[in-house]
Structure 1
Amino acid sequence: MSEPQTMETEEDLLTCLQVKFFHPQQHVKGLYSLLRLGQRTKHSADDPLKLGRDAQSCTFALVDPRVSRKQLSLQAFRTPQSPEMLFTIQNLSQKGRLTVNGCGLGYLERKDLPDKALILFGEYEILIIRESGEAKGSFEVELEVLAVSPSREMCLCVPSMTPIMDTGFSPMNTFSNEASSCGPLETDETVMCQSG
């Protein structure tokens, strides 16, 4: 008798989160010794993924006393309008802020993740890239370490780098931090000159 052929199912086409870590001192310390780097691992879509220093309560643990016991959570979700599996990120740290593409999240605040997101907390930079799939019940995660800072490659608006106009007036004083951190401000630089 021959072996039965396995049919390809939608579970073979899993959404994958590529999670790429960077820390300026990663070459000195064993920060990532508890992570399964370079391997795709399958996860149930109804269980949130947690990242922190507590290996007992977190799916992924970092060996760093400056990382919160539970730092962040990633949760899969779907909308009625789309078959895509999407993700939210939630800050689980009471001690520190988390930024997602330049927009800050306080304790227990959450945000939908875009297809490519740069997450910052402490000295860590984490680049998360979502590869689409068709499966509804599970997804994969692939972890790796980057040799160079991903923030150098992503274009983010940094509020402290907002240019000051010739008048010496800073537009930062009139707009909320959220507005200034989520996009550039544009001004009309046309100057009307009258000849005498």
Structure 2
Amino acid sequence: MSVSQTMETEEDLLTCLQIKLYHPQQSCRGIYGALPLGKRTTHTADDPLRLGRDAQACTYTLADPRVSRKHLALYAFHTPHSPNMMFTIQNLSQKGKLSVNSSALGFLERMDLPNKALIRFGEYEILIIHESGEAKASFEVEFEVLTVPPSRETCMCVPSMTPVMDTGSCVMNGFQSGFTALGPLETDETLS
């Protein structure tokens, strides 16, 4: 066998960002028409991936007038202590906030993305899943449209809490917690 047949190539080991999109009115509007749905596309790591409605300024566009011209950017980076490619997200919208796993980002604020992140802005919910690879110079992106909001299916490190109205206590993951709601408990004065 020749060396070229036995060596792993960088193309085989690319990091991939799976970007899963949801909008409540996505079925009646063609907002995802410019996205390469279901296909993996390759990007150089030194160029930020921008999402917005301006096709000239953004890598990918959403056909929605409520989305900023440049809404968000994803930047790839490496640290000296890890061979893995990591990503930072930046809010490029002056008009709206962007949240990453419930942490709000204002205009030009950045945050490192965990391996699984729920991004929200406007009525959009975007689940980004980071699949590690060994490539240093490029990564792949794969877009998918979800039929249900990812926030319904995904627990983002916050226990599910169900309020119990009659006692003011809270049930977490099926177990009654040891605290009660702050403030007075409401009761019906007509009942004895």
Query: 1:74 corresponds to which residue?
Result: 74
TM-score, normalised on structure 2? 0.79
Aligned position for 2:12: 12
Runs of 4+ aligned residues of structure 1 deviating over 4 Å after TM superposition are 161-164, 187-190
CA shift at 1:154, angstroms? 1.8
User: How far does residue 162 in structure 1 lie from its aligned partner after superposition?
Assistant: 9.7
Alignment RMSD (CA, Å) = 2.6
TM superposition shift of 1:7 = 3.8
Higher strand share: 2
Which ranges in structure 2 are unaligned for 5 or more consecutive residues? 169-176, 181-192
Report what 2:151 is aligned to.
151
Distance 2:11 2:27 in 1: 37
Letter in 2 for 1:133: G
Secondary structure of the residue that 1:16 maps to in structure 2?
Answer: strand
Q: What CA distance in whole angstroms lies between the structure 1 residues aligned with 2:162 and 2:104?
A: 17
Kindly tell me the number of residue pairs found equivalent between the two proteins: 167
In structure 2, distance between residues paired with 1:33 and 1:117: 24
Residue 153 of structure 1: how far off its partner (Å): 1.2
| Deviation of 1:163 (Å) | 6.7
Whether contact under 8 Å (1:11, 1:134) holds in the other structure is: no
Shift of residue 11 of structure 1? 3.6
1:138 maps to which residue?
138
Cα-to-partner distance string for 1:6-61 (whole Å, 9 max, x where unaligned): 74223420000000100000000000001110000000000000000001110010
1:58 aligned residue: 58
Match of 2:29 in 1: 29
Q: Is the Cα–Cα contact under 8 Å of residues 91 and 105 in structure 1 kept in the other structure?
A: yes
The one-letter amino acid paired with 1:48 is: P
Match of 1:90 in 2: 90
Change (3 A) 1:145 1:6: same
Q: What is the DSSP-based 3-state SS (H/G/I as helix, E as strand, rest coil) of the residue aligned with 1:17?
A: strand
Secondary structure of the corresponding residue to residue 108 of structure 2: coil
Identity level (%): 71
> How far apart are the structure 1 equivalents of 2:150 and 2:54?
25
Indicate the SS of the match to 2:151: helix
Tell me which residue corresponds to 1:102. 102
Instruction: Name the counterpart of 2:45.
Output: 45
